[in-house]
Structure 1
Amino acid sequence: MRIGAAGLCHSDLSVINGNRPRPTPMVLGHEAAGEVVQVGSSIRDLKPGDRVVMTFQPSCGQCLPCAEGRAALCIPGAEANGKGVLMSGDIRLHDHGHEVYHHCGVSGFAEYAVISRHSMVKVDADDIPFSHLALFGCAVQTGVGAVLNTCRVQPGQSVAIVGLGGVGLAALLGAVAAGATEIVAVDLSDDKLAHARDLGATRTYNAAEPGVIDRIRAETGGGVDHAVELAGAVPAFELAYKITRRGGQTVTAGLASPTSEFRIPAVNIVADERTVKGSYMGSCVPKRDIPRFINLFRAGKLPVDKLLTGTLTLDQINEGFDRLDRGEAIRQVITF
């Protein structure tokens, strides 16, 4: 593959800072789009010049989760990602004879990559820049998928998005596309809250405000139908849970530290008929959902281009991660 663009995501940052332990040395970058340069002898459905979006969770199509239509939970795919190898178990990256591990089967922070067919979706999208296409590999799948697939938001319902990074704002776009009439956005950054209002949020709250939970519950009639946490922090998950109404659903797609724990009073689950769910890769089936989300983008119903903070060159990657770590960027994309 020739990589056309690759996004900088907190999941990359969590490998850098050690929150997601991975074997090293490793070439990072899991949100990418590119063009086929050469295919292996067994590949019949791709040819040089085809455009593809990479997906950070490869799916074999054969294991039980895949057979159930839950490609995000593919067992061999998860095992390969944990080991830093391709689906075949092979490593195709080397530095002076030494093996270099793959990140989520993609390793998109490079001009070229060898990628398993299980980690990509062919797209008919010659009219869309790679800088936009790359976002569909992670931010859009995870955020929009959490709203449309995991929550199954219905028109007229209320949704809260807690954490307004690239994935969180993508989830907000998903709530707009789903027809939610009350869209609550919560973050610690007033700038991101302003951006959320531009994208369709009907109410915005700074999470640091005293009494913010009581205020949200009061102003939404007892809480929202669905609260989606995308900050990757337990305090954000706790806030999301507390602003969910009785009978409502709290979903987390944020990746907190492996040592973090979330505690809730057990009686609430029963007495309030509450649902708490995880969402990995937006519960997406990439072959189904990536083309679907691209069609929504083309129709003007999912303006993911508004998530872009800017584009970078590869030699600016450290500056980009510093901005991401400081919370100064939504989605930065390296273009080649």
Structure 2
Amino acid sequence: MKAAVLREVGKPLVIENVAIGKPGPREVLIRTKAAGVCHSDLHFVEGSYPHPLPAVLGHESAGIVEAVGDEVRTVKVGDHVITCLSVYCGHCEVCLTGHMSLCTSSETKRPKGAEPRLFKEDLGGARGPMAQFLNLSSFAELMLVHEHACVAIRKDMPFDRAALIGCSVTTGIGAVIHTSKVQPGETVAVIGCGGVGLATINGAAIAGAGRIIAIDRQPSKLALARTFGATDVIDANDGDVVKQVQELTSGGVHHSFEAIGLKATAEQSFRMLRRGGTANIIGMIPVGTMIELHGPDFLGEKKIQGSYMGSNRFPVDMPRFVDFYMNGKLKLDELIARRIKLEDVNEAFEELKRGELARSVIVFD
């Protein structure tokens, strides 16, 4: 199959022919129909986060089930599915206490010594290692995943929009409704209006937030933020962002969401809280970065917490998000800036670096 492979940090992805195995017990073979190009992939390309190489990247995707292995009960051949990188076992402590997005069980991967799901096969028949990325590797024509890395959805949902639910939408909306539990009428600030930030704004609007403040340096993204539900926008190029948020809300917001992954903006997200408020770090802050907070602020019961994939219960959440889109509540059409081919993936990464577009989506024929 054709796939986009990262062989060296800091270098462009290479389009290669990669071999894929057959479904084993509890595994599902999916023909990829669409895959979003997410900033999280870029973190690994640039080396902010380590990963075994070479690897087929991609983690935000939708497709059609082509084959299933023994014991698979959740999907069947022909199902349309959305994938999710936060694969879960279903019976460890975090799963049983309702935090399945935090599951790290090795049971969802192939055991040591078994044939890998992906491998490079040369003309002589020798097989080389090829790492699977975030349990998925969706920059490829096929994916071989654990059955708890995908969920069946209704067949009238377009694949290019369904793919976005696989990461950015679930991360953003989940942070609002699951991680921070925004209540109707509360105030929200979102720092960073890329794909995840826009989904967070949309989620805050769906949750009934009374005031939603969007913060970014790109005027085009701030204009888009209003479309997704922002009531106020702040250009981060103009003055003290924290002071502006405090003035707009008479003291600070109930909930802030940092959707970039920077030390400075993470610290801003905490400083713009009112007493009792909660800061949520959604962005991937580079490994080794330390965050500094003003200790006395904790006396006002201000909180800061992480949010991984929106604290999701994706087998339940994602079909509901599909219904939100089909009913007009969830904005996905506006999230897609470009539809591209797999060969254009490196150009999409360059656009991400410039911060100009919300989302490019790879569409497979």
TM-score, structure 1 normalization: 0.94
What residue is the counterpart of 2:66 in the other structure?
Answer: 37
What residue is the counterpart of 1:288 in the other structure?
Answer: 316
What residue is the counterpart of 1:8 in the other structure?
Answer: 37
What residue is the counterpart of 1:83 in the other structure?
Answer: none
1:306 partnered with 2:331: no
- Partner secondary structure for residue 114 of structure 1: strand
1:185 partnered with 2:214: yes
Equivalents in 2 of 1:45, 1:180: separation in Å? 35
- Partner secondary structure for residue 138 of structure 1: helix
Conserved in 2, the CA contact under 8 Å of 1:76 and 1:87?
A: no
1:99 partnered with 2:129: yes
1:136 partnered with 2:165: yes
Conserved in 1, the CA contact under 8 Å of 2:64 and 2:81?
A: yes
Equivalents in 1 of 2:283, 2:260: separation in Å? 5
Letter in 2 for 1:62: H
Conserved in 1, the CA contact under 8 Å of 2:83 and 2:149?
A: yes
1:318 partnered with 2:318: no
Q: CA deviation at 1:263?
A: 1.2
Q: CA deviation at 1:99?
A: 1.6
Q: CA deviation at 1:155?
A: 0.8
1:18 partnered with 2:47: yes
Conserved in 1, the CA contact under 8 Å of 2:33 and 2:63?
A: yes
What residue is the counterpart of 2:88 in the other structure?
Answer: 59
Q: CA deviation at 1:304?
A: 2.1
Structure 2 gaps, min length 5: 1-29, 122-126
Q: CA deviation at 1:16?
A: 0.3
What residue is the counterpart of 1:328 in the other structure?
Answer: 356
Equivalents in 1 of 2:329, 2:253: separation in Å? 23
Conserved in 2, the CA contact under 8 Å of 1:151 and 1:226?
A: yes
Equivalents in 2 of 1:308, 1:87: separation in Å? 34
Equivalents in 2 of 1:214, 1:41: separation in Å? 58
What residue is the counterpart of 1:155 in the other structure?
Answer: 184
Select the structure that is richer in strand: 2
Letter in 2 for 1:279: S
Equivalents in 1 of 2:140, 2:65: separation in Å? 14
- Partner secondary structure for residue 146 of structure 1: helix
Q: CA deviation at 1:88?
A: 4.8
Equivalents in 1 of 2:111, 2:351: separation in Å? 36
Mark the CA change 1:87 to 1:72 in structure 2 (over 3 Å): closer, same or farther. Answer: farther
Q: CA deviation at 1:305?
A: 2.3
Equivalents in 2 of 1:200, 1:46: separation in Å? 35
1:279 partnered with 2:307: yes
What residue is the counterpart of 1:201 in the other structure?
Answer: 230
TM-score, structure 2 normalization: 0.87
Which of structures 1 and 2 has the bigger CA Rg?
2
Q: Deviations over 1:252-303 (max 9, x none)?
A: 111110111111122211x211111110010001111111211222221112
1:69 partnered with 2:98: yes
Structure 1 gaps, min length 5: 81-85
Letter in 2 for 1:334: I
Conserved in 2, the CA contact under 8 Å of 1:139 and 1:170?
A: yes
Letter in 1 for 2:316: R
Conserved in 2, the CA contact under 8 Å of 1:87 and 1:105?
A: no
CA RMSD of aligned residues (A): 1.4
Q: CA deviation at 1:244?
A: 1.1
23-32 vs 288-297, greater mean Cα deviation: 288-297
- Partner secondary structure for residue 110 of structure 1: coil
1:46 partnered with 2:75: yes
- Partner secondary structure for residue 5 of structure 1: strand
Equivalents in 2 of 1:159, 1:37: separation in Å? 42
Conserved in 2, the CA contact under 8 Å of 1:24 and 1:100?
A: yes
Conserved in 1, the CA contact under 8 Å of 2:256 and 2:270?
A: yes
Letter in 2 for 1:2: R
Q: Deviations over 1:99-125 (max 9, x none)?
A: 2010111100011121111211111x2
20-29 vs 258-267, greater mean Cα deviation: 258-267
Conserved in 2, the CA contact under 8 Å of 1:141 and 1:281?
A: yes
Equivalents in 2 of 1:62, 1:45: separation in Å? 15
Q: Deviations over 1:26-74 (max 9, x none)?
A: 0000000100001112223422210111001110111111111101110
Q: Deviations over 1:278-336 (max 9, x none)?
A: 10010001111111211222221112222111110011111111111111211111010
What residue is the counterpart of 2:147 in the other structure?
Answer: 117
